[in-house]
Amino acid sequence: MIEPAIQQKINAWLGGNYDEATKSEINGLLERDEHEALADAFYKDLEFGTGGLRGIMGAGSNRMNRYTLGMATQGLCNYLKQNFPGERVKVAIAHDCRNNSDVFARIAADIFSANDMEVYLFEALRPTPELSFAIRHLGCHSGVVVTASHNPKEYNGYKVYWNDGAQVTAPHDKNIIAEVNKITSIDEVKFEPKPGNVHLLGSEMDEAYMAKVQSLSISQKAIRNQHDLKIVFSSIHGTGITLVPEVLKRFGFTNVHVVEEQATPDGNFPTVVYPNPEEKEAMTLALNKAREIDADLVMATDPDSDRVGIAVKNLEGQFELLNGNQTGALLMNYLLLAWQKAGKLTGKEFIVKTIVTTDLIKDIADSYNVTMYETLTGFKYIAEKIRELEGQETYIGGGEESYGYMIGDFVRDKDAISACALIAEMAAVAKDRGQSLFEMLVEIYTQHGFYKEELVSFTKKGQRGAEEIQQMMADMRANPPQLIAGSKVVEVSDFKHSTRKNLVTGEETKLDLESSNVLQYMTEDGSKISARPSGTEPKIKFYISVNEPLASKEDFDDVDQKLNQKIEQILVDLKLK
């Protein structure tokens, strides 16, 4: 039995001005009595989460299609006209390799042009960070990129950017939704283009962006000495292939091996289950290539090239995937040391990380007397912090545990292109010192403590899944743990209610962050456990961070084992396995 409210939406689509292919798809589901699929397709409208609009492609109000995209775009047009009255509004558009991404990008361009806006559309697929750069470079008021990042192939999405090149934050995100919700019929969407308003972007923008990336280089001498560093790169069928090899070449690297089986952009991602460099399986071909040529460094970018995963040889000489926390700690340490050596640290510099990212980065920043700010999960909040401090403090770099990094502020979103270049440069510096990147990481551990993180995700699909996730969060709020892995919980932060309570003193402080459905527990021994429903996927995520002192490289295995046991006990205590 289909709920009346859902049936009403279905009827509106079947009776409305929708194309025959859309109606045929809905009728097919009705004929096959696929009530669960219909409920999931229509029980809500696609909303802007931490990553904008994102959903499974298909017919329905909760699906990514020309109509949901059209209404979002028309709502954005209306909001832009309100915000910039009397101005000729300019918008930039890019898209990734996914199925229908080019089609959706063209539909968006048509709607913006029909609304008498100046549209700058990339002529072919491009990395998301280049879109962020183009907005700033061209002085645009807004921008969109059609992508679903690292989601499975059934998904597509639509990220919305503001005039600073960052993804929209409050109040704009909610105000855009409000404008979209005012549109009661697709007949209100201006689908008929005005071609004269659309301008194509190509190699000139690539050149401007790559010049900025090149300006980030710190250690040219090390690259000259180690120019033949063996690098394996995979774009995992995504947009990274358009710029990463060229940027590495321009930095001075002469021995880059592209994983050819994954070099052709393909929205079906034929060689992987998930096009996500966080997944070991997605890195298999790159690791095989690395073993074959005895590489120094492996790097792989996700479909829209805003995130990068890496692998390096560990202390036993075996390739090991680094997680986002480890790579982030390496990068922040590298940047801060370089700024210190160059005499550029004046006391007004800062770095940024998210609340679920390793506190090792804070320890590193403290050792250089550099301020570290924390934001909610999502790079739009890091960009917001930069905007807030512009002209007062200087941004060096920032990152989050989910493989996203941003060095310099000419892009205002995570940027795997510049990250790949700086990671390769960092590997060259390490090799110049007779070290591997892994040994460089262990050195950081001996200075600041050995931090180890684990991410556990539970996928809960559809309407029922969303309700289960909400119930899990409600239960944890009602019954917080008092002891985790034998250590007392001493602090609870509830980002939804913007409170942090010290359970030892009873003191409660207000958190100066936007409300977000995240719970965080700190224990007496320095462990940190965070629970957070994903804003872009039907998942609830648990982030676990533990740490111990590391006296020397020789103690690495023993301390590693101790940390693994502690993580295992946390998983058991919180019933996460």
Q: Which two tokens stand for residue 205?
A: 């923008």
d(CA 306, CA 435): 28
Percentages helix, strand, coil for the chain (3-state, rounded to 5) are: 40, 20, 35
d(CA 325, CA 400): 7
d(CA 65, CA 77): 18
Cβ proximity of 42 and 60 under 8 Å: yes
Q: Which amino acid is at 358?
A: T
Q: Which two tokens stand for residue 356?
A: 């679920």
Number of Cβ atoms within 10 Å of the Cβ of 165: 24
| Bridge partners, residue 297, by sequence | 231
Element (H, E) at 363: helix 360-367
d(CA 494, CA 517): 8
**In sequence order, what E strands does 182-245 have?**
198-201, 231-234
| Bridge partners, residue 351, by sequence | 372, 397
d(CA 302, CA 236): 6
Half-sphere exposure of 270 (CA within 13 A, CB side): 7
Quickly tell me which residue has 């040529």 as its tokens.
293
Element (H, E) at 484: strand 483-484
Q: Please identify every residue annotated as catalytic.
A: 149
Report the DSSP pairing between strands 53-56 and 155-161: antiparallel
d(CA 373, CA 315): 32
Angle at 57 between CA 53 and CA 61, to 5 degrees: 65
Distances (CA, A) of 197 to 75, 76, 87, 165, 303: 19, 17, 15, 21, 29
* 59 alpha-carbon distance from chain centroid: 27
